[in-house]
Amino acid sequence: MNILVVYCHPSKKSFTFEIFSKLLEGLKKSNHQITISDLYEMDFQSDMNESEYEREGFAQVDQELPKDILLEQEKIQQSDCIVFVYPVWWSDCPAKLKGWFDRVYSVGYAYGYDSTRDKQVKMKKQRLGLVICTAGHPNEVLEEIGIAESMRKVMLDDRLGQRFENKQMIILGGTIDKDKVKENHLLKAYEIGKSIEKILN
Q: Say yes or no to pLDDT of 5 above 70.
A: yes
What gap in Å lies between CA 121 and CA 28, rounded to an integer?
Answer: 30
Phi, psi of 173 (to 5 degrees): -90, 175
pTM reported for the whole predicted model: 0.95
Describe the crossing of helices 95-104 and 67-77 by its angle, rounded to 10 degrees: 80
pLDDT in tens, 108-147: 999 986 654 546 689 999 999 999 999 999 999 999 999 9
User: Rounded to whole angstroms, what are the CA distances from 143 to 34, 92, 100, 135, 171?
Assistant: 32, 14, 27, 12, 10
Q: Please give, one letter per residue, the 3-state secondary structure of 143-177.
A: HHCCHHHHHHHHHHHHHHHHHEEEEEEEEECCHHH
pLDDT above 90 covers a percentage of the chain that reads 85
Identify the pLDDT of residue 119. Answer: 61
Q: Does domain 2-200 have CATH number 3.40.50.360?
A: yes
Q: Say yes or no to pLDDT of 74 above 70.
A: yes
Query: Which is higher by pLDDT, 201 or 37?
Result: 37
Identify the pLDDT of residue 70. Answer: 96
pLDDT-wise least confident of 63-67, 133-137, 187-191:
63-67
